[in-house]
Amino acid sequence: MEDKFSELARKLRPSPIRELLKLINEPDIISFAGGIPDPTLFPIDLMWEVTQQILENEGDKALQYGPSDGDIGLREEISKWLKDKEGVDIPASRILPTTASQQGLDLIGKVFINPGDYVIVGLPTYLGALAAFSAYGVQFIGIPLDDEGMQVELIPEKLKKLRRAQKRVKFVYVVPDFQNPAGVTMSLQRRKRLIEIAEKYDFLIVEDTPYRELRYSGEHVPPFIALGPKERVISLYSFSKILFPGLRVGFVIAAPNVIRKLILAKQAADLCSPVLTQFVVREILKRRDAFKRHIMRLVVRYRDKRDAMLSALMKYFHDIPGVRWTKPEGGLFLWLTFPEGLDTEKMFPKALENKVAYIIGTAFHFDGSGKNTARLNFSYPTMKQIDEGIRRLSKVVEAELRELERKKRIKLTV
């Protein structure tokens, strides 16, 4: 059978996160692994209200096939919402609803990437994007992150080397707001500089911003779609983190010619996204005040959880040398960096033995680096679990560092 598979199928690999999540289903394991919203914050009453209304008044349409370019009512409501919150005029014709933003990533890969093409990503970066683009034979160029996001000043030198080899970059992929996995936010200065570089070297900017509404501190930074030429920027949004992941509703904003190609690619993928879930999001967006109240509830609760995790890290890790972590202004994650030599993949089984789980850092590095890093999620666990889970993790790390030091001493004496 193996010889019957396509070259693309042979390249496909399981998601490291999905494989690790299979190991942490025991109820007594405290998991910081998945990027999962807190289900106690789902607006079930609002969902019940709008779904009942839709089925009573539009059931024949909601349960039927829909257009590949998405429900026009949803696209118009998204346009109004973007105008309200971002101050940008995006006509409905530039908006394509997708089956969550992950489909948007796959469609972008299908439309833009030929085997051997180059794409710039962060080190680390969202592994769902790495998987989506890898399927189409992409070559990645990694740019390190710091507390202001991708270090964009490193990009021109990479581009000059490619030009000398008569190769060029198709696009740069960024998660500018509360980045998954690192939790950092790209500064306004760097966003503007990246646009300048893109203009000079003629590549696209793909911004993926599923956490944008979840800001807990710091100042609002405009999205790329509000800063750069709209023909050069492709934006992906999702309602998974701010409403219900199970709805699987996201959308892409792009230039008209790009939207047309994405629609053709989508027709081949699924004909259309589910109409019922599009209608649900449309009706929730219409209830603008209720939606805003829900977002504020998320912000308040997740801010408390973020602060609880930062406090727990200070309490349990302050005496462990060489351990650093990011301090996210929003989103769902923060990033841990341990001393060189500590391998979080090798340490993972020991963490499970101690009933705590995280995601290994190498999953977010296309080049296999990041062995001494890990991603922690703070949105899903309870406040009590956050404190206890960080305590357990600190004990695992302390034991691992002691073992590394012991092996180092043995090596020096041999």
pLDDT interval class at 95 (50, 70, 90): very high
Question: Which of helix, strand or coil describes residue 377?
Answer: strand
CA pair distance 412, 360, nearest whole angstrom = 29
Residues of the chain by 3-state class (helix, strand, coil), percent to 5: 50, 15, 35
Enter the DSSP assignment of 330.
Answer: B
User: What is the CATH code of the structural domain delimited by 44-287?
Assistant: 3.40.640.10
Kindly list the domain boundaries of the chain, sorted by start residue: 2-42+291-413, 44-287
The residue with tokens 């709209």 is 230
pLDDT of residue 1: 75
Tell me: the pLDDT tens digits for 177-215?
Answer: 999 999 999 999 999 999 999 999 999 999 999 999 999
CA pair distance 65, 41, nearest whole angstrom = 31
Asked if the domains at 2-42+291-413 and 44-287 fall in one CATH topology, the answer is no
Tokens of 201: 């070297």
Does the pTM of the predicted model rise above 0.85?
A: yes
CA pair distance 203, 310, nearest whole angstrom = 38
Tell me the backbone φ, ψ of residue 179, rounded to 5 degrees: -55, 140
Question: Which of helix, strand or coil describes residue 115?
Answer: coil
Tell me: the pLDDT tens digits for 335-356?
Answer: 999 999 999 999 999 999 999 9
Could you say which of 3.30.420.40, 3.90.1150.10, 2.40.50.140, 3.90.650.10 is the CATH number of the domain covering 2-42+291-413? Answer: 3.90.1150.10
Query: Which pairing describes strands 30-31 and 333-337: parallel, antiparallel, or unpaired?
Result: unpaired
Q: Which has more pLDDT, 21 or 320?
A: 320
Helices 100-112 and 127-134 sit at what angle, rounded to 10 degrees?
40
Contact yes or no for 227/176 (Cβ under 8 A): no
Question: Is 155's pLDDT higher than 70?
Answer: yes
First to last CA, the chain: 51
Question: Is 104's pLDDT higher than 90?
Answer: yes
pLDDT of residue 384: 97
Could you give the percent of the chain with pLDDT greater than 90? 88
Following CA atoms 175, 178, 179, 183 in sequence, which dihedral angle do they give, to the nearest 10 degrees?
170
